[in-house]
Structure 1
Amino acid sequence: MGIQMLLYLLLFLPWITLGLANKQTIKRYMPVTIFSSFLMTILFQVAYQYDWWTIHKYIVPWGYMIDVSFAYGIFAVGTFW
């Protein structure tokens, strides 16, 4: 399995687990999930500006600045749960 496939799985598979939550729980905790992903995006932007780390493999054109599969996949859903 290639790195690209693994990144796509890390982006989409965690969102499938939201099917286990009821609608009211999703409505209650989704704003926190969105806010934390927004903060993670800002952190990645700062890290890019100050060269804290480098992202070598990415799945979107702007992926060299933010690890999309982490910030909007596993981190976002992990924050929800």
Structure 2
Amino acid sequence: MRQQKLIMLLIMILPWLTIPLIGKKSIKRYLSAGIFISIIVTIESFIAKKRRWWWFHVKIHPNIQGEFPLIWGPFLIGSLWILKFTYRNFYRYIILNLIIDTFFTYAFVNFLQYIGIGTLGRLKKIQLSLLFFFKSLLLYGFQTIKETFIKG
């Protein structure tokens, strides 16, 4: 259990080490979209727990959701990186998201299950992939609306 918590902490902290490489301008430009989608995913995790879509057997703290390290680590920082390299090129954005989401759904979920951190419950992998795809559209849409209506 202690090793699993360490792995979860590393999963959360390591992406934050790449923040200086993103650049201040990109962070300022995309952070609000990243936080928006991370909040949406946090709300989604409450629904997932109630509907038993997935389970996390390991938490970094008893009062924190098991998904917290994934949402506020690689998901948030990954969203910034993806937007930085693909925003304004929707085709590239969709392709990159499909690649990353497929890796997460079919490889990383298996890894989490193998080491005993979490498992899918009532949600099938294809449904998880569709959920990720919907969230990627929501992220891109938020950024587009933000840049259309809020100049600066």
Is the shorter-chain TM-score for this pair beyond 0.5, marking a shared fold?
Answer: yes
Q: Tell me if structure 2 keeps the 8 A contact 1:45–1:66.
A: no
Structure with larger Rg: 2
Residue segments in structure 2 that go unaligned for 5+ positions in a row = 82-152
> Which runs of at least 4 in structure 1 moved beyond 4 Å after TM superposition?
none
Aligned to 1:13: 14
Task: Measure, in 2, the Cα distance between the counterparts of 1:21 and 1:49.
Answer: 36
Aligned length: 80
Per-residue CA distance 1:23-63 (angstroms, 9 max, x = gap): 11110010011001001101101011112222100102233
- Structure in which a larger fraction of residues adopt helix: 2
Aligned to 2:51: 50
Q: 1:41 aligned to 2:42?
A: yes
Q: Tell me if structure 2 keeps the 8 A contact 1:41–1:66.
A: no
Residue segments in structure 1 that go unaligned for 5+ positions in a row = none
Aligned to 2:77: 77
Shift of 1:66: 4.3
TM-score computed with the length of structure 1 as normaliser: 0.89
Aligned to 2:63: 62
TM-score computed with the length of structure 2 as normaliser: 0.49
Considering only aligned residues, what root-mean-square deviation do their CA atoms show, in Å?
1.5
